[in-house]
Amino acid sequence: METKDKRTRAWRRHQARRVFKARLKRVGAWQMGPRKLWHEIKDEKGYQCYRTTGTPCSCYLCRGESFDRMAAKKEERAMIKENLEKR
């Protein structure tokens, strides 16, 4: 059986649940104060971003800020352009 055949809708949903659970475990471990288990925080409003975002910030300070690739590319281009103009 090819890998392509294994990747069904059910497989993708299973992977999404697995990744969400892993992210919540990581966030719970980094949480300041009393530690919480992943199933205690899975329904809280502040942690739902870890369910839907493809690449949330892994920093415990950002708590759900997502990484915008296009904005990062624009910022990087501006920095390079500025450095080239200084020379």
Residue 42: what pLDDT? 82
Bridge partners of 56, per DSSP, are 66
Residue 78: what pLDDT? 92
Which whole number is the average pLDDT over 20-45?
79
DSSP class per residue in 14-35: HHHHHHHHHHHHHHHHH-SSS-
Q: Out of 9-18, 24-33, 39-48, which region has the weakest mean confidence (pLDDT)?
A: 24-33
pLDDT at residue 80 tops 80 = yes
Question: At residue 66, what are phi and psi to the nearest 5 degrees?
Answer: -100, 155
